[in-house]
Amino acid sequence: MDVHVRRAIPVALRQRGVDVLTAQEDESATLPDSALLDRATALRRVLFSQDEDLLAEAARRQKRGIAFGGVVYAHELYVTVGRCISDLETIAVVGNAEDLADQVQFLPL
């Protein structure tokens, strides 16, 4: 989870049994977007964000053919917290990290 994500989202996902790691817990909350995406990739995790700058970083990598672990993006005005939780749980249960490698998945699904 990117640093900008509301705390309610990882809390609810954990209550549903989803493995979540926040940037704060990983002590990477102060990293710039490119380094945060590198960190998530190194951990073999998909990064969830509501930050347009991180979305731009993922698009830059796609355009240049730079590998990354995948990004799930939700604009905070277009999706509710409840819908984020539901969609992120679906992604975690149905898919795996390899499915989203080098991809950007937009919420709502």
Mean pLDDT across 40-63: 96
Mean pLDDT across 57-82: 96
Q: What is the mean pLDDT of the chain?
A: 96
Mean pLDDT across 69-79: 96
Residue 79's pLDDT band (cuts 50, 70, 90): very high
- For the sheet containing 71-74, what is the strand order? 47-49, 71-74, 104-107
Instruction: Please tell me the predicted confidence (pLDDT) of residue 95.
Output: 85
Give the DSSP letter string of 13-36: HHHTT-----TTTTT-TTS-HHHH
- The answer on pLDDT for 96 being more than 90 is no
Closest by CA to 70, choosing from 98, 89, 91, is 98
Instruction: Please tell me the predicted confidence (pLDDT) of residue 55.
Output: 94
Q: What is the pLDDT of residues 2-36, one digit of tens each?
A: 998 999 999 999 999 999 999 999 999 999 999 99
Query: What is the number of other CB atoms lying within 10 angstroms of the CB of residue 67?
Result: 9
